[in-house]
């Protein structure tokens, strides 16, 4: 154990060290939790190579000046696993094997006795999956609803998804779905049967879930902690709706100032990184009590959170960056209210919700409620059931320089009133966007798919004072009040369940706030019943429409072409992502640098599109960070001249 002149301590942990270490490099501890019990502000915990099958429960907080840092030793692979190894499998013949595990091995939490349930979990309807999983050499198997289903183990070709989507959701690797398991729990033991087909489990590494989390404080308020350089995997974390406690495989548990960086986080039963709320503000009351809808309990939860101190001084301001997050059932990153004022930057997020074993209205690579002043910047999000979903109170939020590709759906924004800024993003999947909100600004994006846009007049959701959690009011979503400036649209077709490839969906909107008010006054003025009769404005200008996509009928300046703008991606061995785009003709359209003045303010919130500190912003860089000139090309690329271009985007 070493100390600096300011008494900060470096604690060492080594998996193979004998008991009785003191945390020095010569006599390291052998469990990370041993260090977590004693590390205090300013200390560093260096963890050496090995697999640590434990949940790390930090007992002490750092400070903004003196953080507590947990880091993998340089050039050493350190794994924190929520699983144990299952051995001594017994063959039942025909590829079926079973193992019996004493319940004492699980303690108070047995994932195979815990149903996956809660608010907004929709399917399956005929049985309840559990929180447990089984892994063959690190790859998760599929849970069967019964012993008989496991016995026959037929391939699954389509998965569970939104009820309003008419196209069946295909499972990309149906050959893996025949590896199924079923468990039964009695008073003394848990028996797991698995259909391994031609695999002998005694010759492979078979793991099973034991712990709910891998790195997560039991207590709230344990702030200013850095977690860096680990592999964190295989936790039996529960379904995490916005009306419940939201534990993830890793997370700060309702505190402030965590940094989660440079990790490989995967195989959470539900959510990998949680920036979510805690227990006291709601715990699935709609699901269990059934007296009020989840919407009402969620609205109450916002007020309850304010009563227990939800504000910028105590909650949020986390950084989640440079992680690889993958192969999780519900979310790569989740959070209601606990992620305010945070930055989510340069993460690679994929294979989220794509086993399709269950479905609920909370599944996405990133799913955030109340993302006040959150920055989602330069992430590569692909092969997810839904790339990102911003729900309720996405106020002051900025989504910038992200790449969405090969997702079932790229993005959804729901029941929020702005300002939310989308700039310099590539939406490359056939289904780009669900716009179930108002007051968003879309600037210099590339849309290669189609979009659905709807209003929600029957749900009033909160909005806040600028850059604050202080509540200002509630309002429904009337639709529009959006800004669509200097984007590129190039979708080949409008796929089922969507409405548009361009901006013609805004036809009929008023042109600006002056016209909107004039139309209200023509109806005699009055209260809500009058205002809701008039369509809110749409601010649409300077967009380029390829592939025959259509523009808003009152767009003053635009460019249209029947030719396609070709788009493809290539991943390199170093992890870099390169984008190739082929411009059939240079768009000739008047443009300008877009800034806070040009964007104005949304009608309901009256908050400017600006930086979190209240200073004006200007979108004067492209997706790569290169500076734009004063008459920039539409879309996320600085160069949109005729011909083929290849640039690194991640």
The rounded distance, in Å, linking the Cα atoms of 550 and 427 is 17
* Same domain, residue pair 304 and 377: yes
Answer whether the bond into residue 490 is a cis peptide, omega within 30°.
Answer: no
Q: What is the pLDDT of residue 6?
A: 62
Q: Identify whether the C-beta of residue 305 lies closer than 8 Å to the C-beta of residue 336.
A: no
* Residue that terminates a domain, selected from 14, 43, 73: 73
State whether 284 and 416 are in the same domain: yes
Whether 157 and 249 share a structural domain: no
Closest among 411, 549, 412 to 489, alpha carbons compared:
549
User: Residue 392 contacts by C-beta under 8 Å, 6 or more apart in sequence?
Assistant: 242, 298, 336, 369, 370, 414, 415, 416, 461, 462
Looking from the CA of 618 toward its CB, the CA atoms found within 13 Å total: 9
Does 243 share its domain with 173?
Answer: no
Which CATH number does the domain housing residue 181 bear?
2.60.40.1180
The parts of the chain modelled with pLDDT lower than 50 are: 2-5
135 and 182 fall within a common domain = yes
Scan for tokens 């009820």, then name that residue: 163
Q: Which residues does residue 647 pair with via DSSP β-bridges, in sequence order?
A: 579
Contacts of 423 by beta carbon, 8 Å cutoff, 6+ apart: 398, 399, 400, 401, 441, 442, 443, 444, 445, 594, 619
DSSP 104: G
* Separation CA 319–CA 482 (nearest Å): 29
Taking the C-alpha atoms of residue 124 and residue 161, their distance in angstroms, rounded to an integer, is 10
Domain of 39: which CATH number? 3.30.1910
Q: Is residue 249 part of a domain?
A: yes
Q: In whole angstroms, what separates CA 626 from the centre of its chain?
A: 27
Which of 52, 73, 94 marks a domain boundary? 73
pLDDT attached to residue 5: 42
User: Which CATH number covers residue 496?
Assistant: 2.160.20.10
Quote the CA–CA distance of 608 and 262 in Å, as a whole number. Answer: 34
User: Has residue 650 been placed in a domain?
Assistant: no
Q: Is residue 403 part of a domain?
A: yes
Same domain, 202 and 140: yes
**432, 449 contact by CB (below 8 A):** yes
Same domain for 203 and 332?
no
pLDDT at 516: 97
pLDDT value, residue 4: 45
Same domain, 90 and 56: no
Cα(638)–Cα(303) distance, rounded to whole angstroms?
44
Question: In a 10 Å sphere around its CB, with 0-12 CB exposed, 13-18 middle and 19+ buried, how is residue 271 labelled?
Answer: buried
Same domain membership, residue 452 and residue 490? yes
What's the pTM value of the predicted model, to 2 decimals?
A: 0.97
Q: What is the pLDDT of residues 5-57, one digit of tens each?
A: 468 899 999 999 999 999 999 999 999 999 999 999 999 999 999 999 999 99
Residues 413 and 342 in one domain: yes
8 Å CB contact between 353 and 386: yes
Residues 64 and 100 placed together within one structural domain of the fold: no
Q: Which of 209, 225, 255 is the last residue of a domain?
A: 209
Phi, psi (degrees; rounded to nearest 5) at 624: -90, -5
> Would you say residue 225 lies in a domain?
no
Residue 160 falls within a domain, yes or no?
yes
Length reported for the chain = 650
Helix (H, G, I), strand (E, B) or coil at 45: strand
Note the pLDDT tens digit of each residue in 161-218.
Answer: 888 788 788 999 999 999 999 999 999 999 999 999 999 999 999 999 999 999 999 9
Range of the domain at 369: 235-564
Looking at the DSSP assignment, which residues form a beta bridge with residue 399?
376, 422
| pLDDT given for residue 370 in this prediction | 99
For the chain, the domain total comes to 3
Token representation of residue 538: 């749409």
Residue 391 CB neighbours (<10 A): 24
Kindly state whether residue 612 falls inside one of the protein's structural domains.
Answer: no
Do residues 270 and 409 both lie within one domain? yes
**What sign does the dihedral 352-358-363-369 (CA atoms) show?**
negative
């Amino acid at each position: 154990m070493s100390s600096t002149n300011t008494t900060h301590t470096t604690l060492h942990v080594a998996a193979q060290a004998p008991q009785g270490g003191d945390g020095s490099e010569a006599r390291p501890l052998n469990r990370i939790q041993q260090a977590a019990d004693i590390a205090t502000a300013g200390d560093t915990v260096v963890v050496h190579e090995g697999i640590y099958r434990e949940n790390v429960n930090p007992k002490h907080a750092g400070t903004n000046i003196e953080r507590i840092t947990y880091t993998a030793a340089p050039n050493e692979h350190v794994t924190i696993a929520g699983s144990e190894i299952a051995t001594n499998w017994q063959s039942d013949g025909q590829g079926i094997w079973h193992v019996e595990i004493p319940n004492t091995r699980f303690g108070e939490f047995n994932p195979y006795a815990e149903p996956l349930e809660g608010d907004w979990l929709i399917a399956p309807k005929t049985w309840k999956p559990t929180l447990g999983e089984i892994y063959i050499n690190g790859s998760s198997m599929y849970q069967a609803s019964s012993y008989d289903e496991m016995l026959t183990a037929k391939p699954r070709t389509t998965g569970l998804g939104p009820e309003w989507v008419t196209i069946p959701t295909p499972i990309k690797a149906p050959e893996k779905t025949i590896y199924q398991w079923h468990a039964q729990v009695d008073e003394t033991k848990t028996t797991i049967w698995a259909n391994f087909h031609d695999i002998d489990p005694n010759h492979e590494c078979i793991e099973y879930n034991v712990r709910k989390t891998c790195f997560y404080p039991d207590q709230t308020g344990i702030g200013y902690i850095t977690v860096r350089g680990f592999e964190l995997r295989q936790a039996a974390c529960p379904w995490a709706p916005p009306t419940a406690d939201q534990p993830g495989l890793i997370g700060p548990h309702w505190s402030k100032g965590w940094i989660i960086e440079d990790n490989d986080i995967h195989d959470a039963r539900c959510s990998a990184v949680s920036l979510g709320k805690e227990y006291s503000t709601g715990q699935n009351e709609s699901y269990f009590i059934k007296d009020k809808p989840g919407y009402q309990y969620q609205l109450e939860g916002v007020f309850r959170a304010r009563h227990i101190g939800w504000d910028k001084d105590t909650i949020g301001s986390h950084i989640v960056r440079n992680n690889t997050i993958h192969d999780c059932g519900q979310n790569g990153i989740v959070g209601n209210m606990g992620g305010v004022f945070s930055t989510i930057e340069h993460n690679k997020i994929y294979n989220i919700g794509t086993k399709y074993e269950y479905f609920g209205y909370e599944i996405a690579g990133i799913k955030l409620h109340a993302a006040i002043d959150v920055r989602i910047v330069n992430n590569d999000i692909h092969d997810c059931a839904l790339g990102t979903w911003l729900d309720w109170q996405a106020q002051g939020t900025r989504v910038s320089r992200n790449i969405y590709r090969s997702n079932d759906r790229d993005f959804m924004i729901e029941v929020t009133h702005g300002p939310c800024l989308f700039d310099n993003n590539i939406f490359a999947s056939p289904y780009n966007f669900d716009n179930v909100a108002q007051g968003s600004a879309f600037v210099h994006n590339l849309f290669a798919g189609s979009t659905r846009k709807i209003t929600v007049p029957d749900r009033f959701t909160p909005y806040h004072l600028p850059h604050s959690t202080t509540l200002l009011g509630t309002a429904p979503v009337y639709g529009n009040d959006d800004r669509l400036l200097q984007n590129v649209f190039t979708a080949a077709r409008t796929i089922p369940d969507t409405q548009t490839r361009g901006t013609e969906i805004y036809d009929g909107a008023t042109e600006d706030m002056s016209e909107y008010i004039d139309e209200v006054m023509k109806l005699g003025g009055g209260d809500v019943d009058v205002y809701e009769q008039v369509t809110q404005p749409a601010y649409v200008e300077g967009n380029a429409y390829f592939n025959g996509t259509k523009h808003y009928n009152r767009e003053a300046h635009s460019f249209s072409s029947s030719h396609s703008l070709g788009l493809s991606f290539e991943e390199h061995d170093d992890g870099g992502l390169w984008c190739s785009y082929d411009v059939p003709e240079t768009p000739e359209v008047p443009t300008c640098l877009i800034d806070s003045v040009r964007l104005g303010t949304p009608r309901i919130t009256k908050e400017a599109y600006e930086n979190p500190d209240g200073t004006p912003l200007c979108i004067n860089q492209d997706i790569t960070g290169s500076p734009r000139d004063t008459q920039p090309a539409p879309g996320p690329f600085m160069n949109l001249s005729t011909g083929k271009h290849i640039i690194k985007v991640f």
